[in-house]
């Protein structure tokens, strides 16, 4: 299937509302076509387009886009989720708790941000047959996605969330935040086994990336989940399969978020 064929039948004209998805890099994102198809199937004349933006330019980008009247909002991906949340805007409760956003919508007076990653990740796990309650989680990555996932798993009844990050400041900040909310949390060496291992880092997007954890953290029958969508089966997931673990690819998090994204940007408004 060519790129043109994949977009066949979609509406694009002078009344089309534009959404952007920003990241650095952005070539790996999968949301533009499925979210566009979903919106147009719902009767909303809108498209989602990828935008490769460096971190230092994110603030000026939002300033510029706010004057575009047919621009509705932004899907935020790696590594900008915490950077965007730190800009001047209204944050909804999930974004406030995690101090990160993955969706931002244009309002008459500025921007409003929310974080759908945690809920989407949790729904994907449940759909794959994993019961979070009472399980001990090993989480690699205390960035925007990691914070959202940690909070969602803790609120769903995980026994403990143990966190590893190469940035010790981020690691300790997430552990402290979880504890302040009444959840069991600790530092993780990324080598001790856990019922559920979650990679919330970009490690695995490139073929030469090292594994984000030690293989000793994975046991047969345990579950390893990714947030990376490309490749679908990362080296970590391939290795986990070889060790007899169940794997949950990153695509599940996006798939579970599409309806929520459409509702967030348009709130049932048919354009």
Residues taking part in catalysis: 81
Residues making up the chain, counted from first to last: 271
Helix (H, G, I), strand (E, B) or coil at 171: helix
Going across the sheet that includes 246-248, the strands are: 185-187, 160-164, 136-140, 196-199, 223-226, 246-248
List helix spans (H) across the chain. 3-6, 32-41, 58-65, 81-85, 93-98, 117-127, 144-155, 168-180, 235-242, 251-266
């Amino acid at each position: 299937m060519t790129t043109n064929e994949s977009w066949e039948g979609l509406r694009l004209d002078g009344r089309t509302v534009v959404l952007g998805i920003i990241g650095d890099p952005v070539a790996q994102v999968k949301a533009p076509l499925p979210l566009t198809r979903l919106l147009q199937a719902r009767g909303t004349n809108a498209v989602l387009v990828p935008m490769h933006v460096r971190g230092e330019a994110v603030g000026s980008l939002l300033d510029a886009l706010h004057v575009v009247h047919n621009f509705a909002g932004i899907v935020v991906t790696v590594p900008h989720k915490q950077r965007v949340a730190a800009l001047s805007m209204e944050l909804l409760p999930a974004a406030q708790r995690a101090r990160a956003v993955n969706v931002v919508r244009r309002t008459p007076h500025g921007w409003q941000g929310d974080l759908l990653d945690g809920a989407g990740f949790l729904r994907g796990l449940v759909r794959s047959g994993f019961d979070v309650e009472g399980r001990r989680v090993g989480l690699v990555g205390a960035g925007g996605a990691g914070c959202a996932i940690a909070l969602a798993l803790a609120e769903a009844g995980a026994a403990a969330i143990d966190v590893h990050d190469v940035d010790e400041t981020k690691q300790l900040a997430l552990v402290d935040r979880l504890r302040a909310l009444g959840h069991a949390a600790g530092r993780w060496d990324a080598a001790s086994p856990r019922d559920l291992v979650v990679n919330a880092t970009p490690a695995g997007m490139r073929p030469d990336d090292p594994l984000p954890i030690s293989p000793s953290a994975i046991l047969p029958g345990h579950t390893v989940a990714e947030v990376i969508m490309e490749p679908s089966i990362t080296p970590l997931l391939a290795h986990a399969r070889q060790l007899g673990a169940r794997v949950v690819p990153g695509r599940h998090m996006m798939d579970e978020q599409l309806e929520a994204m459409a509702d967030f940007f348009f709130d049932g408004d048919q354009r």
